[in-house]
Amino acid sequence: MADLLISAAGPGPRFAAVDDLADVIAWQEPAGPGSGDRYRLMQAIGAAGVEAPFLYIVEQDVAATDEKELNRWYFEEHLPRLGAVPGVISARRYALVEGSARKYLAAYRLERQGVFEGPDWLVARQTPWTATARLLFKNPSRKMRKII
């Protein structure tokens, strides 16, 4: 069972990469029929079902030996800290269940793009544990998107 479907086209809100407006995804939550990458929700903080003008997505793979530690960091520190930053509407973490994308995806719905670059966000992510956990990321991808 999937909670999220990300596809090139389909129902749901569409988001374009801010640095490449031709890079568009459809975000269907809850997931319905269709092809694309399907994810299971692992953790949710903040308002559910609220659309936002900006969506910041972080994807990564992780070595099997490091998976437990990376998940613990996300659950105990990282997602709760970023989810509490003013201007963050919600923070979600997903695991891929079907498709060819990276294994994990974190999605932050933001009131404005500047939240991501603001001092509260930077303080929330600058911890000793974050410095070591980020070394566990394999094939990371970070992308700011805006709703279209």
Query: 91-140: per-residue pLDDT in tens?
Result: 999 999 999 999 999 999 999 999 999 999 999 999 999 999 999 999 99
CB 41 within 8 A of CB 92: yes
The pLDDT assigned to 76 comes to 98
Query: pLDDT at residue 68 above 90?
Result: yes
Query: pLDDT at residue 143 above 90?
Result: yes
The pLDDT assigned to 15 comes to 96
Element (H, E) at 44: strand 37-46
The pLDDT assigned to 51 comes to 82
Angstrom distance (rounded) from CA 85 to CA 95: 23
Cis check: omega of the bond before 11, within 30 degrees of 0? no
Tell me what the pLDDT averaged over the chain comes to.
Answer: 95
Angstrom distance (rounded) from CA 44 to CA 82: 12
Distances 33 to 2, 15, 37, 58, 79 between C-alpha atoms, Å: 10, 19, 11, 24, 29
The amino acid that residue 37 corresponds to is: D
Angstrom distance (rounded) from CA 108 to CA 67: 21
Which domains are present in the chain? Answer: 39-143 (3.30.70.100)
